[in-house]
């Protein structure tokens, strides 16, 4: 009885969670309150952490509280510092949270909120959190080495190089997709463009202040920066309304694309203290603050979900993105459920700061649960938007036409109630000219967040402020990711090219710097431009590529974790990583295959290319192309995208083959072969 | 209770600073005093710049999507 007692509270929690899930899943026809979704999610997280996360920690990995961590072994007060577990949790969460968990669930809402919600919850418990935690553990036991290094040492040098190259290509696609989201949100939006542009002088001012006026005072300058940002949002409304200033900040997609490309180049070449670092302070604090604010807002307003639990688009005919529920839902929602990119963070700074191995489940597994909760909130925000408005914002112009009238007609035919007046009213409420075809997730999320936050503070009158606040919040940290990513991509590229031309490796050489930065910017800029001119909105093409790539990286990280488990001779628990690996392999390989070979031109790149080349042979010109020349370019891009997909599949299969070989070899020997740093006890001062 | 609140504030402050790549300066100085008494620790300004460069330097691997 005594042993059962502590579990009683958990049983009660399980009951609460099950009730909430039942309400969410079984209510048909009537709309439900968002709080049920939140309660169900939190119950699942707590139970998942207590019974699965800690099971992995104590039984599978057997974390050892007496073992020295890299933070103690290499303690230098800088890179390696034993850090309080709550402080490190904050650091880790801020590093993994980004635009991914906010955008994916919004796009997935076209199938209704239920499929997305179930995948976010199941995915995080059995795949995403497992991956983050295990990579953190593996890296901690190996002196905090990076994912590429770990693959090299545990699987072999060839899969190591292949994985490194794959990571660079994934980075390129991520940067293109993130930049595309910003372009889509700012097109023809002088208010949004002004506020986002204002962040550049604000950040430069902060940079100079921190460097020369009061060096290193992050707190006070961040508050000053925040006040200036809020002023920029308020003032942006007047700028947009002004007949002289408004048009100066009104740009089409192509113009914004060129500005972003130029900006990305300049920002990543400038000294970091001037623009990149201060922008990073603003975006990090704003991100954490807004996430907390949104959580409080949802709890306080308790909005009703207006999107149905399931829509007819589960069959794959949806306008937001094409393809059936399996496999495409599971690559559309990447970051909130499982994200390969987190493996880079979990093998980056976090393991070098870990005070004790027993903190790893809280930080690795728990950090990912929080990320998943962000995804749930994004899903809630999107599902609070009227479905008619949701589809008007996210469907491509090719389907909706250009005006509120044509859009309302098209959407009504799908069975969602919407009138042209509703669409113009929403646009007016949020202070925009139009909301039609603002694909990319960010604007939809902004409308949802504006509804929730204005319900808490300010009411209808503050809608426009909150909308542009949400746009700024997303654009700010996306731009930080674009600068920092371009810089990181440049270093990766210099490293890769240095293998062939040694002088390229010199990161302090200006010529090598400009060349590598230029190459990196043109790589993502090319995909960005291609996405912007795509009449299907670009998100249609680029988001699945990103999703496939990101989930494949997760599969690579889980393959590594599987090999390490076998090498540790913990074969009886190998299902913990094998099950999510197999699932991710199934999703990503099917999705990759369909993206290349599907006969549906909306899904398959080759079918799309064939459609265009057949038309070109007949002398016809299909939109978006305006000439045969442009037709050729569309066809070329299709082949390029198909090639990229094939490359990702090749990377994954290479790692799979080498991983299987390494696992089998380790299985045949009777002693552990994992290449851990030898055991040393924690120093006495740590106790 | 006030001591607890002060400690919580301290933790939050450290967490916020580490989020943007700035570890605790006092911890660094203490570490230098204890283990490398022969070296002069960096001043706060030097420490701040060193960490800022390190966060976006060649060895960092960027942030997530």
pLDDT single digits (tens) A334-368 = 889 999 989 999 998 999 999 999 999 999 999 99
Report ipTM for this prediction: 0.93
pLDDT at residue A594 in the model: 96
Question: What's the pLDDT score for residue A170?
Answer: 86
Window 469-488 of A, Cβ < 8 Å to B: 480-481, 484-485, 487-488
Residues of chain A with pLDDT under 70: 1-2, 687
Q: Give the model's pLDDT for residue A623.
A: 75
B60 with A488: Cβ contact below 8 A: yes
In whole angstroms, give the CA distance from residue A453 to residue A297: 6
Is A304 in a helix, a strand, or coil? strand
| Residue B59 pLDDT grade (very low, low, confident, very high; cuts 50, 70, 90) | low
The residue with tokens 């990447």 is: A334
Residue B61 has pLDDT above 60, yes or no: no
Is residue A438 within 8 Å of A184, Cβ to Cβ? Answer: yes
**Which chain A residue has its CA at the smallest distance from B64's CA?**
A96
A378 touches B: beta carbon within 8 Å: no
Rg of chain A over CA atoms, in angstroms?
25
* pTM summary value: 0.95
> Half-sphere exposure (CA, 13 Å, Cβ side) for A442?
28
Nearest CA to CA, how far is B33 from chain A (Å)?
Answer: 11
Do the Cβ atoms of A622 and A615 come closer than 8 Å? yes
- How many angstroms separate the CA of residue A97 from the nearest CA in chain B? 7
**What would the two tokens of residue A228 be?**
């200036």
A30 contact B CB<8A: no
pLDDT at B62 over 70: no
- The answer to whether B62 contacts A171, with C-beta atoms less than 8 Å apart, is yes
Place of tokens 């309400």: A23
A224/A218 Cα distance (integer angstroms):
10
The pLDDT value given to residue A509: 84
Contacts of A507 in chain B (CB under 8 A): 58
A472 C-beta neighbours (distance < 10 Å), count: 27
| Closest CA of chain A from B39, distance in Å | 13
pLDDT of residue A389: 95
Contact A537/A437 with Cβ under 8 angstroms?
yes
In the prediction, which pLDDT does A352 show? 95
Bridge-partner residues for A354, per DSSP? A83
With contacts defined as CB-CB under 8 Å, which chain B residues touch A98?
Answer: 63-65
pLDDT digits (tens, 9 = 90+) for A615-656: 999 988 887 778 888 888 889 999 999 999 999 999 999 999
Percentage, residues of chain A above pLDDT 90: 77
Looking at chain A from residue 557 to 586, which residues have their Cβ under 8 Å from any Cβ of chain B? none
- Pairwise CB contact (< 8 Å): A88 & B62: no
pLDDT of residue A456: 87
Count Cβ atoms within 10 A of the Cβ of residue A288 and give its class: 0-12 exposed, 13-18 middle, 19 or more buried: middle
Residues 399-458 of A with CB under 8 A from B: none
Residue A562 half-sphere exposure toward CB, CA atoms < 13 A: 27
Would you state the structure tokens that stand for residue A71, as one six-digit string?
């933070």
- On the question of pLDDT at B60 being above 60, the answer is no
Contact B62 A485 (CB under 8 A): yes
Our CA-based measurement puts residue B30 at a distance from the nearest CA of chain A, in whole angstroms, of 9
- Residue A335 at interface with chain B, using a CB cutoff of 8 Å: yes
Contact A545, A644 (CB under 8 A): yes
The pLDDT of residue A35 is 95
With beta carbons less than 8 A apart as the criterion, state whether A59 and B15 touch. Answer: no
Q: How far apart are CA A140 and CA A352, in angstroms?
A: 7
Facing residue for A277 by CB, picked from B24, B56, B64? B56
Residues 618..677 of A with a Cβ closer than 8 Å to B: which? none
Q: Is A627 exposed, middle or buried (0-12, 13-18, 19+ CB in 10 A)?
A: exposed
From the list A430, A353, A25, A670, the residue with the least C-alpha distance to B28 is A353
Q: Which residues contact A492 (CB under 8 A, 6 or more apart)?
A: A164, A167, A168, A171
Nearest to A284 among B19, B35, B50 (CB): B19
Alpha carbon of B58: minimum distance to chain A alpha carbons (Å)? 6
């Amino acid at each position: 009885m005594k042993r059962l007692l502590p579990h009683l509270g958990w049983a009660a929690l399980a009951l609460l969670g099950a009730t909430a899930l039942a309400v969410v899943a079984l209510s048909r026809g009537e709309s439900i309150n968002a709080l049920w979704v939140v309660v169900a999610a939190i119950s699942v997280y707590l139970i998942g952490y207590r019974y699965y996360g800690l099971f992995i920690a104590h039984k599978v990995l057997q974390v050892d509280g007496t073992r020295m961590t890299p933070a103690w072994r290499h303690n230098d007060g800088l890179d390696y510092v034993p850090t309080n577990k709550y402080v490190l949790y904050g650091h880790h969460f801020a590093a993994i949270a980004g635009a991914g968990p906010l955008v994916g669930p919004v796009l997935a809402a076209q199938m209704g909120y239920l499929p997305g919600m179930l995948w976010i919850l199941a995915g995080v418990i059995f795949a995403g959190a497992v991956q983050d935690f295990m990579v953190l553990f593996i890296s901690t036991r190996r002196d905090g080495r990076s994912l590429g290094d770990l693959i090299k040492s545990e699987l072999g040098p060839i899969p190591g190089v292949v994985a490194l190259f794959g990571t660079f290509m994934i980075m390129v696609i991520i940067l293109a997709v993130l930049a595309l989201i910003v372009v889509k949100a700012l097109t023809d939006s002088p208010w949004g463009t002004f506020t986002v542009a204002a962040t550049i002088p604000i950040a430069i001012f902060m940079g100079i202040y921190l460097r020369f006026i009061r060096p290193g005072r992050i707190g006070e300058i961040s508050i000053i920066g925040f006040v200036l940002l809020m002023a920029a949002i308020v003032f942006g409304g007047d700028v947009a309304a002004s007949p002289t200033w408004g048009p100066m900040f009104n740009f089409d997609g192509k113009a914004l694309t060129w500005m972003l490309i130029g900006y990305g180049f300049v920002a990543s070449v400038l000294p970091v203290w001037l623009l990149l670092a201060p922008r990073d302070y603003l975006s990090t604090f704003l991100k954490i603050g807004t996430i907390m604010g949104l959580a409080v807002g949802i709890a306080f307003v308790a909005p009703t979900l207006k999107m149905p639990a399931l829509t007819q688009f589960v069959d794959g005919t949806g306008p937001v993105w094409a393809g059936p529920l399996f496999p495409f839902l599971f690559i559309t929602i990447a970051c909130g459920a499982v994200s390969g990119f987190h493996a880079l963070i979990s093998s980056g700074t976090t393991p070098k700061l870990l005070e004790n191995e027993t903190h790893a489940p809280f930080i690795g597994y728990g950090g990912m649960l929080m990320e998943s909760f962000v995804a749930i909130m994004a899903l809630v925000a999107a599902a609070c938007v009227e479905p008619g408005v949701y589809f008007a914002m996210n469907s491509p112009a090719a389907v909706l036409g250009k005006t509120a009238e044509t859009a309302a007609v098209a959407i009504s035919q799908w069975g969602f109630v919407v009138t042209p007046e509703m669409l113009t009213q929403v646009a007016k409420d949020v202070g925009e000219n139009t909301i039609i075809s603002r694909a990319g997730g960010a604007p939809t999320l902004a409308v949802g967040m504006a509804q929730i936050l204005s319900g808490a503070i300010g009411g209808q009158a503050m809608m426009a402020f909150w909308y542009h606040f949400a746009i700024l919040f997303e654009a700010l940290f996306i731009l930080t990711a674009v600068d920092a990513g371009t810089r990181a991509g440049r270093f990766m590229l210099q490293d890769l090219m240095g293998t062939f031309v040694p002088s390229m490796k010199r990161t302090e050489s200006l010529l090598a710097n400009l060349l590598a930065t230029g190459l990196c910017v043109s790589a993502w800029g090319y995909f960005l431009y291609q996405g912007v001119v795509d009449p299907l909105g670009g998100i249609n093409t680029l988001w699945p590529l990103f999703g496939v790539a990101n989930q494949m990286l997760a599969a690579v990280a889980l393959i590594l974790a599987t090999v390490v488990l076998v090498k540790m001779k913990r074969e009886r628990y190998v299902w913990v990583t094998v099950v999510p690996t197999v699932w991710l392999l199934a999703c990503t390989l099917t999705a990759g295959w369909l993206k290349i070979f599907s006969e549906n031109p909306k899904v398959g790149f080759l079918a799309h290319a064939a459609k265009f080349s057949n038309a070109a042979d007949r002398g016809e010109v299909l939109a978006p192309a305006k000439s045969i020349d442009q037709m050729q370019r569309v066809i070329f891009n299709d082949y390029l995208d198909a090639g990229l997909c094939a490359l990702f599949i090749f990377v994954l299969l290479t790692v799979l083959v080498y991983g299987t070989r390494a696992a089998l070899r380790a299985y045949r020997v009777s002693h552990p072969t994992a290449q851990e740093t030898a055991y040393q006890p924690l120093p006495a001062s740590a106790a | 209770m006030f001591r607890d609140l002060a400690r919580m504030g301290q933790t939050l402050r450290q967490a916020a600073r580490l989020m943007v790549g700035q570890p605790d300066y006092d911890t660094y100085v203490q570490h230098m005093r204890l283990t490398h008494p022969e070296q002069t620790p960096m001043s706060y300004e030097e420490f701040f710049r060193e960490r800022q460069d390190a966060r976006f330097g060649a060895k960092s691997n960027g942030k997530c999507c």
